[in-house]
Chain A
Amino acid sequence: MNAPLLSRRSFIVAGLSAAGGLAVGFALDGTAQALPIAAQPWTPEGKPAGEINAWILIEPDDTIVIRVAKSEMGEGIFTALPMIVAEELECDWSKVRPEYASPNRNVVEHGVYQQMGTGGSRSVRGSREFLQQAGASARARLIEAAARRWNVPASECMARASKVLHEASGRSATYGALAAEAAAVKLGAEPAIKSPDQYKLIGRPTARLDTPVKVTGEAKFGIDTRVPDMVYAAVAACPVFGGKLKTFEEAPIRGRRGFVGVVPLDGAVAVVFDRFWRAKEALKALPVEWDIGEAAKTDSAQFCALYREALDGPAATARNDGDADKAMGSATKIVEALYEVPHLAHAPMEPLNCTAHWTADRVDVWMGTQAPDRALALAAEAGGVKPENVFVHNCFLGGGFGRRAVNDELKQAVLVSKAVGKPVKLVWTREEDIRHDRYRPQAALRFKAGLGADGMPVALNLRTAVGSLLRSLGMGKVENGIEPSAVEGLANTQYRSPNIKVDCVLKNTHVPVMFWRSVGSSQNAFAVESFIDELAHAAGKDPYLYRRALLSDRPDFVNVLDTLATKGDWGKPMPAGSGRGIAIHEAFGTIVGEIAEVAVSKTGEVRVERIVAAIDCGHVVNPTTVAMQVESAVIYGLTAALYGEITIKDGRVEQGNFDDYPMVRMADAPHIETHLALSGGKKWGGIGEPGTPPVAPAVTNAIFAATGRRIRSLPIKNENLSGA
């Protein structure tokens, strides 16, 4: 009633005025002051004066608006990417304000923002160079504009802190005053970008720009969208994946207050009311019949057997060094182990939602998406309008972790808006989120090693059976039975052995699977790092030194391991019932090693007390967010390791909310330390995901050190460790 509503047109106006002046909030000293970020971080459509290029808009008051073409889901990209631009722009950082780049403009201007999807821990390493170039180019044009104004050679001018200076004459001009002229400058040649030794901002711990709006409740997530005449939809999909909607009976809910309509969807039904609560309650009272099909006869025990049996069947070979089968015959000792992991849900804190406004010639959607480009194309297809007439207003994402890379909720919202002829906010309940995710696949991995007399592996055979993400998503092609993510961390294992064979069996069930924070590495690192630990113990060697010996060809790995061992107190005595475990994994261009300190009580309760991480991502843009992302990745992986398990019964997911899909909370959260062990050079590694894979094996290896019990199947909660 008192909150501002955004109409599509007033949204545009609001956007423009937001670009012309900062949002106002509280400063630390309590005075009202400009916020570094708008609560609604959308870019306005169109090209205001002062736009130097698609990335940079300079206001007359010297505000530097930097467009961000990646999604802010907690990873700190709204700070890191502007830092990269600002490094070259030589602007006053305190005047920088990020906002989302327009996905519509990316269509109309043929990819001016390149690929806008956020995933694969790729944002910094994938956009750094062109963002630096955009910043450098804008700086050169501002200098050129000043030089022309003063009639002096550009080479006599320099840029510093949002001003161009001509020292010989003592003249200066602000970027704000020069912006419109700079926008018209065409450079003869693009300036060179800085080398890392010249960085002033990149590498400096920098407060996140989105923090203030996130402690006052002002930050707008997709679910907070309000547009005039908006109605609300609650949705239920067929409880068995792939099932169809057979019939529903509208009569029992038609007379309820605020009823708008019931909309049948593909394998789902949406109930539309004037308020979400009414829609959600009415959905419970709606009689629905589903055509559940044959998949309703399946359960997790069958899938478990399916993946185990698949390990004995034909496989595609992803790597074949030497002759592993033959070399096994000459080994002094054979070690074999089977590892198993369950399906996992993403469970971002903000349940999936999308607000859509369909009209015959234009579609607007407001949501948090990791893939604005794909979202736009999907909205165009679902709404039957041209892509250039679709406007995706990306909001802050209340968590992503891969889930918001494919926007099932968007298609539903567009279809419902079209059916009822009004803007619709469609919200999934938590139960819908847990039961209709696209999950981290279940997998079984069987490894075999032949050890030589020195305890080192003369042969390794790593074999995985797992669901194909690409087949499940209907995206791309699976070539020769191998999918890169399925063998990530297996086919490219850096552990040295003259004979290595990696086999892959892709097998899908009716359960949809997708990218889950760290993707294939989430299960493969658990298996590899558990197995290496088993080999070290079989060889009678220290697990840290054993890894160090097998990785000695890679100085960056060795540096991470040594940093980790020192900072993590490797080898120091621990009380009875406690132990340390170590694990290391490279993914997304980054190496992360972790040591877990774990205590196991006599009754079998596992307490993870401390995690020490060492990381080599080559270069760091913002050390503050790197530490935050490692902490985040550790807790995310720890929830999965300790508790995470989606099980299927009668073809449907058994869990539904945080009471039966539990999370690590404050009381379970270990003390976490992050140490940088940077190798620099050409390496620019990702940071959002690589902290997750080592957690589970570090913890299970620590449990082994504490109790002598080897956990080969996750989650840990299923293991009875009492009396261990």
Chain B
Amino acid sequence: MLALMVNNRRYELDIEPETPLLWALRDEIGLTGTKFGCGIAQCGACTVHVDGVATRSCQLPVAEAAGKKITTIEGLAGDTLHAVQQAWIAEDVPQCGYCQSGQVMAAAALLAANPKPTDADIDAEITNICRCGTYPRIRAAIHRAAAMASR
């Protein structure tokens, strides 16, 4: 058995240790907010936080995630929505929405490490793919979330 801490809850999983964290989250635990997009850590739809660091879960064996604090999109909000989620709503970011869990998680990790990112920081750190082309609104929403947090 393998113990996983996800969104402050402990799960005991009887799975192969090489299973990517993505599939443990989606198919074992049933947290389907984290998405499968490419399987090779290219697109970022599967982004979660592992000990606070944005991580593409499709390439992380579940055994390596054991003992670490994992946060998924379902666990990002506290009593209120996370500033990034609020900014996403205010800027009308999502279209199809499929990549947005990963985008939100990537942005939240960026802001945790860098509360006032520049456009260049955003270009360098937000590399997730969105086929609907929501990038301009994601950029605006990150700046908005940064401003909200500094108020």
Q: Which of A214-222, A384-392, A416-424 contacts B (4 or more CB under 8 A)?
A: A214-222
Q: Mark A653-671, 1 if CB is under 8 A from B, else 0.
A: 0000111000111110101
Tell me whether A351 and B92 are in contact in the complex, defined as CB-CB below 8 angstroms, given that A3-B29, A217-B74, A277-B27 are known contacts: no
Distance (whole angstroms) from the CB of A4 to the closest CB of chain B = 8
How many chain B residues touch A (Cβ–Cβ < 8 Å)? 65
A349 CA to B83 CA in the complex, in Å? 25
Q: In the complex the two chains form, what is the Cα distance from A534 to B49 in whole Å?
A: 52
Is A396 interfacial (CB 8 A cutoff)? yes
Please state if A216 and B96 are interface contacts (CB–CB under 8 Å). no
The verdict on A276 contacting chain B, using a C-beta distance below 8 Å, is yes
CB contacts (< 8 Å) of A669 on chain B: these are 133, 135-136, 139
Is B100 within 8 A of A215, CB to CB? yes
Q: Which of B113-149 contact A (CB under 8 A)?
A: 122-124, 126-139
B133, A664: Cβ atoms closer than 8 Å: yes
Smallest CB-CB separation from B73: which chain A residue?
Answer: A217
| Contact residues in B for A213 (Cβ distance below 8 Å) | 97
Q: Which residues of A contact B128 (CB under 8 A)?
A: 665-666
Chain A interface SS verdict (over half)? loop
CB <8 Å contact, B135 and A257? no
Q: Looking at the complex, which of A149-157, A183-191, A585-593, A624-632 is the stretch in contact with chain B?
A: A624-632
Chain B residue nearest to A670 (CB atoms) is B136
Determine whether the beta carbon of B97 is less than 8 Å from that of A74. Answer: yes
Does A634 belong to the interface (CB within 8 Å)? yes
Max chain A C-beta neighbours (<10 A), residue from B90, B104, B130: B130
Inter-chain contact A1/B11, CB cutoff 8 Å: yes
Contact B85 A215 (CB under 8 A): yes
Asked whether, in the complex, the Cβ of A399 is within 8 Å of the Cβ of B131, the reply is yes
CA A276 – CA B20 in complex, angstroms?
A: 11
| Chain A, Cβ-Cβ closest to B88 | A215
- The answer to whether B89 touches A212, judged by C-beta atoms less than 8 angstroms apart, is yes
Q: How far is the CA of A514 from the CA of B38 in the complex (A)?
A: 23
The answer to whether residues A216 and B134 also contact, given A275-B23, A277-B23, A350-B98 and a CB cut-off of 8 A, is no
Docked-complex contact A3 and B32, CB < 8 angstroms: yes
- B131 partner, pick from A3, A636, A671, beta carbons under 8 A: A636
In the complex, chain B residues whose CB is within 8 Å of the CB of A367: none
Q: How far is the CB of A589 from chain B (nearest CB, A)?
A: 21
Q: How far is the CA of A75 from the CA of B134 in the complex (A)?
A: 12
Q: Does A635 contact B (CB under 8 A)?
A: yes
Asked if A105 is at the interface (CB within 8 A of a chain B CB), the reply is: no
* Pairwise interchain contact A430-B131, C-beta atoms closer than 8 A: no
B38 touches A216 (CB 8 A): no
Contact between chains at A624 and B92 (CB < 8 Å)? yes
Contact A215 B136 (CB under 8 A): no
Contact with B along A608-645 (1 / 0, CB 8 A): 00000000000000001000100111111010000000
Stretch at the interface among A24-32, A235-243, A714-722: A24-32
Task: Tell whether, in the assembled complex, residue A635 and residue B89 are in contact, meaning their CB atoms are under 8 Å apart.
Answer: no
Contact B98 A398 (CB under 8 A): yes
- Bound CA span A475–B81, Å: 48
Expressed in whole angstroms, the minimum distance between the Cβ of B43 and any Cβ of chain A is 5
List, sorted by A's number, 20 A–B pairs whose CB atoms are closer than 8 Å.
Answer: A2-B29, A26-B77, A26-B85, A30-B80, A74-B94, A207-B89, A208-B94, A213-B97, A214-B97, A215-B104, A216-B33, A217-B73, A218-B33, A398-B97, A430-B37, A624-B92, A636-B131, A657-B39, A657-B40, A664-B133
List residues of A whose CB falls within 8 A of some B CB. 1-3, 26, 28-30, 72-76, 207-208, 210-221, 223-224, 226, 232, 257, 275-278, 347-351, 396-401, 427, 429-430, 624, 628, 631-636, 638, 657-659, 663-667, 669, 671-672
Sample of 4 more A-B contacts, CB < 8 Å, known A396-B98, A398-B96, A671-B136: A74-B97, A210-B94, A215-B104, A350-B98
* The 3 A-B residue pairs with the shortest CB-CB distance in the complex, in nearest-first order: A217-B33, A635-B133, A30-B80
Q: B residues touching A (Cβ–Cβ < 8 Å)?
A: 11, 15-16, 19-20, 23, 26-40, 42-43, 45, 72-74, 76-77, 79-81, 85-86, 88-90, 92-101, 104, 122-124, 126-139
